[in-house]
Amino acid sequence: METVKDHYDKFLGEVYSWIVGDFETAYRKNVELFARLKLAPGRGDLAVDLGCGPGCQSVPLAELGYDVLAVDFCQALLDELDEHTDGLAVEAVCDDVLNFPEHLSQPADLIVCMGDTLVHLPDRLAVQSLISKVCGSLKPGGRFIYAIRDYIDYVPRGADRFIPIRANDQQIFTCFLDYKDDVVHVHDVLHRKRDDGWHMKISDYLKLRLDTADLDNQLVGHGLTIRDRSTVDGMITVTAEKP
């Protein structure tokens, strides 16, 4: 079984943007989310995008006026981010998200951790460590936004564990999920058409089954207040604020 980083470096990174759909669609969803949350940065305000991927959060945050620190462990996705951030105040860093405080020049006004980044951490101790670092890195009045899929309330059974993600004439991407007590064993299957026919490549890794109630309790324990919660297409998004 691959680590999450190896899975992205060797398998998922090169097709990630394709399987999630076009960049513009994901970007637009975040534009709408940040507008609903009434994000209004002042001059020099810093936003940190943990697990930034190709920039679906970083770009709209920079367009709002934030100076953005974008952190991801997959260089292929950061290369895509560079293609979307020409002229914008975005600094891309290839590193583990747990190391993000080492790259801060000042406390952050906003930290976002979206796209299932939290469930990609190696264990619950790492999640607790990241939340502690987030809370300690925010300015008073700063906000933390996280998003994860609901891996608690709905557990797929039988054929529902096989999820067709995206397909065209040249490649087909399918995901198979095997739910355990604390993790989801994910198998990603990519079929690609070449001159001599179809070829299959498979990579598997583990996702944590995190409960947002536990995450929220950790944030409250660090003194933050939960300000907003929404669920769209199985993705739970929570906003917390530091007093």
CATH assignment at residue 46: 3.40.50.150
54 with 173, same domain: the answer is no
Residues 142 and 234 in one domain: yes
For 77-114, what is each residue's pLDDT tens digit?
A: 999 999 999 889 999 999 999 999 999 999 999 999 99
Mean pLDDT calculated for residue range 192-209: 94
Could you tell me if 56 and 173 lie in one domain?
no
pTM for the complete prediction? 0.92
Number of domains in the chain: 2
My answer on whether 76 and 163 are in the same domain is no
Q: Over the Cα atoms of the chain, what is R_g?
A: 18
Contacts of 150 (CB under 8 A, 6+ apart): 231, 234, 235, 236
**Same domain? 167 vs 140:** no
Residues 173 and 66 placed together within one structural domain of the fold: no
pLDDT at 33 over 90: yes
pLDDT of residue 121: 96
- Helix 23-36 / helix 75-84 crossing angle, nearest 10 deg: 70
Residue 182 shares a structural domain with residue 84: no
Best CA proximity match to 239, nearest among 33, 27, 72: 33
- Kindly state whether residues 139 and 191 are assigned to the same domain: no
- For residues 53 and 164, membership in a common domain is answered with no
- 53 φψ region: left (φ > 0), alpha (ψ -120 to 50), beta (else): left
Task: Write out pLDDT tens, residues 109-140.
Answer: 999 999 889 999 999 999 999 999 999 999 99
Q: Are residues 219 and 198 in the same domain?
A: no
Same domain? 70 vs 179: no
CATH number, domain of 191, equals 2.20.25
Domain range for 179 is 158-207
